[in-house]
Amino acid sequence: MSGPKTTPRSRGFTLIELLVVIAIIAVLIALLLPAVQAAREAARRAQCTNNLKQLGLAFANYESANSIWCMGAMTWGAGNPSNAGNPMASPRGVNEPINGLNWVALILPYMEQGTIYNAINYATGTSTNIQAFATVWYTRINWLSCPSDGDQEGFRNSGSGNGNGQDISGSPPPANPNGGPIQVPVSDYLVSYGDNYASGCNTPGVIFPTESDYRLFPPAPGQQWVGWPGEQGTMLNVMCGVGGANVGALRGMFDVNDGQTVRLAGVTDGTSNTISAGESLPAMRADNNVWEWNSGANGTTIPINYYSGQSCTLPNSGWGGSNWASRCAYANVGFKSHHPGGANFLFVDGSVHFLKQSISIFTYCALGSRAAGEVVNSDSY
């Protein structure tokens, strides 16, 4: 007689086996996550590159239509000879904005933004009645934002007095016509004024580490020099006490202060060896904004990705202060990005190159100048 039938029990995982499986899964996730993040950053960087290429096409089309490179801003410097025959130059002959608008307002038709262009009153801009500019002010322009910059969504709070906001020239920002908070539109792409001084005598008695001492200008023959009179692309150099007034001149492609203009014939260093624009981080520059004349350009005497994200409210950190890490220090006008190891740059010929932050400062400045005669090997950047 057979005994009773028994059903065999299924054997489950032991606690040790379960922990081993969990550990293996965690290791696989840890190995996979950097690859996923790298792939996402590669896609963001590709989009950033495309934004700059579109900007390069706009500049080229503007030059083709007007026979002159786009102005950095619609301003006028007293007695500036480079503005002869320039239809955008002010007849007043004084160093003040015509309408306070920078290069963004000029290239809108060449970026398929005719609606925004037609909504701007170029007779006043932001300098006379900024509230009339409110609709344009609060319009998001997507191609001015790098997808790797997670610190902003096209706008930031107003005022550096809170330590993290954006300053504008003159009046407070306009009220938001949609009833939202008062904000400042910001840009991840700024044009280049080249290797003119960024700090120089703007911070008297304190020399930025990579810039040559402005008090020892001019350099001896053959001496390598970083920073040339004409602070931040302006011709005026009165406060330096070096060579008298108006000693400097624009060395890059865009002047945002005195209305100097550039023709392609003047790019004698070669359009493939001259930077036109590059990346910027509004979180590290307190006066970065889309529209105004004083905030649309960076220079090449500050190393790529040089940190300048500290609050303007710290000691020695206000405008012109000696804390170079401040958002309000004049070292904030360096090109920088959230891409690891460097930043994307647009060259005058329309090409886009990723320049490493380890690039020699002398090579970098040579790429910033348009007619200084430096010989730059493509292997050096």
Decide: 368 and 194 in contact? Cβ < 8 Å: yes
Asked whether residue 24 is domain-assigned, the answer is: no
Enclosing H/E stretch for 103: helix 103-107
Structural domain harbouring 213? 39-380
Asked whether residue 17 is domain-assigned, the answer is: no
Q: Which residue has the tokens 């950033």?
A: 48
Asked whether residue 20 is domain-assigned, the answer is: no
Each residue's pLDDT, cut to its tens digit, for the chain (381 residues) gives: 455 555 555 566 677 777 787 888 888 777 766 655 667 777 888 999 999 999 999 999 999 999 999 999 887 544 444 444 443 444 334 444 578 899 999 999 999 999 999 999 887 777 667 888 899 999 999 999 999 998 888 999 998 876 688 999 877 899 999 888 999 999 999 999 999 999 988 888 889 999 999 888 889 998 999 999 888 877 655 556 555 555 678 899 999 887 888 999 999 999 999 999 999 999 999 999 999 988 899 999 999 999 999 999 999 999 989 999 999 999 999 999 999 999 999 999 999 999 999 999 999 999 999 999 888 877 777
Q: Is 373 left (phi over 0), alpha (psi -120 to 50) or beta?
A: left
- Return the pLDDT at 82: 42
Q: How far apart are CA 285 and CA 184, in angstroms?
A: 13
Q: What is the DSSP string of 142-183?
A: GGG--TT-TT-SSEEEB-GGGSS-B--SSSPPPPPTTS---E
Asked whether residue 375 is domain-assigned, the answer is: yes
- Return the pLDDT at 232: 85
- Tally of structural domains, the chain: 1
Decide: 208 and 224 in contact? Cβ < 8 Å: no
CA 100, distance to chain mean position in Å, is 18
- Return the pLDDT at 240: 63
- Return the pLDDT at 242: 58
Q: What is the DSSP string of 13-81?
A: --HHHHHHHHHHHHHHHHHHHHHHHHHHHHHHHHHHHHHHHHHHHHHHHHHHHHSSPPPSEEEE-TT-G
Per DSSP, the three-state class of 285 is coil
Rg of the Cα atoms in the chain:
26
Q: What is the pTM of this model?
A: 0.85
- Return the pLDDT at 231: 82
Q: How far apart are CA 278 and CA 353, in angstroms?
A: 10
Asked whether residue 4 is domain-assigned, the answer is: no
Asked whether residue 3 is domain-assigned, the answer is: no
- Return the pLDDT at 282: 96
Asked whether residue 313 is domain-assigned, the answer is: yes
Asked whether residue 10 is domain-assigned, the answer is: no
Q: How far apart are CA 376 and CA 360, in angstroms?
A: 11
